[in-house]
Chains A and B, each alone.
Chain A
């Protein structure tokens, strides 16, 4: 029998045995230790945790008679069990991965021994690892961080959408159960939810379109204005107009909330000074929507402006000169040269901004808080977007499962839109990442 087959078989039976057979003792012992630790934790706790993920707890908390006394007994906490179960699942996957690596290693080293090469010493192996698989070494730390702080929480939240974890069913007092697609059906079919969902979704889409469009067009126009030949102090204008981008948006939005105050705010103050009536900026459903769009323009135009200026400086001057010779006016030059050039170069940004606006939490939450209240809505107001509604559902109303459903809807929205548009933009086709 070949050494590679023998080593492989030994490693299948017991992690590390193949390495020991290959006379790589330190490596073999390391694998063996992992193997032992893996089995120990699997039998001791991991299996139990994973079972918990399936049952989400069986023992509700409540009063239990112990002898003559009635005692409060703490039951299973479904949510903790869910997270423990997920971590256990990840740990098992990691063990399986190590197991596969162990097989591969045993086989490869066996193979090279078959060809008469002596096995590497431990130090040599490490050096080899550094030389050949440097990328994995470098990626290991970020991968662990992302796995636990981003991927695990997102999987957990997706799972929540399939449970009944919503007020009044809250652990530790109650047990949470799997309910399948119930929440999704409720969202679409149950009147209280479906009318809110439909309304908020519609406004989210309208908002995303208008917000993206206004900041984009505004930014390009301002850029063209500054870059006009003959305008002096270009750098000064640019710096002044970039200020809204430099101020943290959280601050400027809170400031604007006060500026647009109906009674005492300066905006209405100036309108009144001009002899006009004050406008109910934040309290009227229609005007509140106008206000958030204006505020968003103030915040977003500088970004597009910076980008557009960058593009404008790359447009060759002779194109304009040629157009002038042909008798083109300013409007024509803008429409036929500037706009196509800018649009072409910034198309990916437009897409990113649209996706960003669907998720634009700060503008809505800080400016209006989703208000004015809409009596027909379930926990949402007139200006609430899906994200702010999600936030309210989860943090103020403890409707976690419904919040997760909304999160999934947002994801599907952004994802489908991004996939559709990435496939259309040239710059992404050239990237090697698109499948």
Chain B
């Protein structure tokens, strides 16, 4: 009997801790959502739930800022980068995982070394390069840079995934006379859907929130992405228009957050695979 009460006690403590942790983990999100509905524009609020609700800030966002344009820009850049990035990733990781060719080891080492340089280090060079190519202020420049960068950062996770697909599958297909391309498209791609979802999500998210590189490349307000626009809004008029920022933050975070929670299963799989396979 004493054992029973001890367990109950332990469980209640655990539940208490879990509740506190849940509050902490949800607080910033709830707070910013509440703030976005608050009347006025100040940061300070004496109640957690605003006394009066208003949609004014959302309306304001759409009418007085370039929010819709920025949103479309972001969607365009992120979607294109995700498509190209996963394509490049798929090609390279598949080849590296499945084929033994001269220079394979040095390719792997090069990729590993490249990952160890801080990303910003190359920024100035990319800027000058894009400038000479006349690609500054263009969304294509961003897409190019994002997709090739995404390939370098995710290649090991993807390679690790391909390593786990049994070779006998391919041998069987090859026996049946499938060509390299056929094999790749009708066996490998369908099998790698969980990995593709994970990588795609990571790339999409990366493009959605990058405010540094995009800021460097995109020079005019019309070309801007959401993250850049939002960051400018915060750094320039932070304290004075806090509720407007809150509405903006909610709108930027919403799609990605929902996508993440919705595709949780793939994320968990991807993270776990990436962790054990390096």
Interface size class of A (residues with CB under 8 A): 35 or more
Q: A123 — which chain B residues lie within 8 A by C-beta?
A: none
Q: Are A228 and B129 in contact (CB under 8 A)?
A: no
Interface segment, A25-33, A36-44, A242-250?
A242-250
B276 CB contact (under 8 Å) in A83, A133, A348, A400: A348
A407 CB contact (under 8 Å) in B108, B112, B118, B179: B118
With A239-B261, A306-B271 as known contacts, state yes or no: A142 contacts B92, CB within 8 Å. yes
Query: In this complex, which of A145, A346, A415 has the most chain B Cβ atoms within 10 angstroms of its Cβ?
Result: A145
A414 CB contact (under 8 Å) in B17, B116, B261: B116
A153 CB contact (under 8 Å) in B46, B122, B267, B277: B122
In the complex, A115 has a CB within 8 A of chain B: no
| A86 smallest CB distance to B (angstroms) | 9
In the complex, A226 has a CB within 8 A of chain B: yes
Q: How far is B8's CA from A230's CA once the two chains are assembled, in angstroms?
A: 9
Interface segment, A65-73, A192-200, A251-259, A279-287?
A251-259
Q: A250 — which chain B residues lie within 8 A by C-beta?
A: 209, 211, 227, 231
Q: How far is B31's CA from A150's CA once the two chains are assembled, in angstroms?
A: 40
In the complex, A274 has a CB within 8 A of chain B: no
In the complex, B49 has a CB within 8 A of chain A: no
Secondary structure class of chain B's binding surface, majority of residues:
helix
In the complex, B114 has a CB within 8 A of chain A: yes
**Please, which residue of chain A has its CB at the minimum distance from the CB of B252?**
A251
| A393 smallest CB distance to B (angstroms) | 10
| A229 smallest CB distance to B (angstroms) | 9
Q: How far is B268's CA from A149's CA once the two chains are assembled, in angstroms?
A: 30
Q: B242 — which chain A residues lie within 8 A by C-beta?
A: 258
A73-102 to B contact mask, C-beta < 8 Å, 1/0: 000000110011000000000000000000
In the complex, B83 has a CB within 8 A of chain A: no
Interface segment, A3-11, A172-180, A261-269?
A261-269
Q: Are A264 and B17 in contact (CB under 8 A)?
A: no
Q: Are B253 and A248 in contact (CB under 8 A)?
A: yes
With A145-B151, A254-B230, A346-B275 as known contacts, state yes or no: A387 contacts B261, CB within 8 Å. no
Secondary structure class of chain A's binding surface, majority of residues:
helix
In the complex, A181 has a CB within 8 A of chain B: no
Q: A151 — which chain B residues lie within 8 A by C-beta?
A: 110, 114
25 example contacts (A-B, Cβ-Cβ < 8 A) are as follows A141-B91, A145-B144, A145-B147, A146-B114, A153-B123, A154-B122, A156-B124, A157-B117, A157-B121, A225-B17, A231-B14, A239-B264, A240-B25, A241-B25, A243-B29, A248-B253, A264-B44, A269-B46, A306-B268, A355-B116, A391-B120, A395-B123, A411-B118, A427-B276, A427-B277
Instruction: Using CB atoms and an 8 Å cutoff, list the residues of chain B in contact with chain A.
Output: 7, 10-11, 14-15, 17-18, 21-22, 24-26, 28-29, 31-32, 42-46, 48, 88-89, 91-92, 94-96, 98-99, 101, 104-105, 107-114, 116-126, 128-129, 132, 144-145, 147-149, 151-152, 179-180, 205, 208-209, 211-212, 216, 227, 230-231, 234, 238-239, 242, 245-246, 249, 252-253, 256-257, 260-261, 264, 267-268, 271-272, 275-278
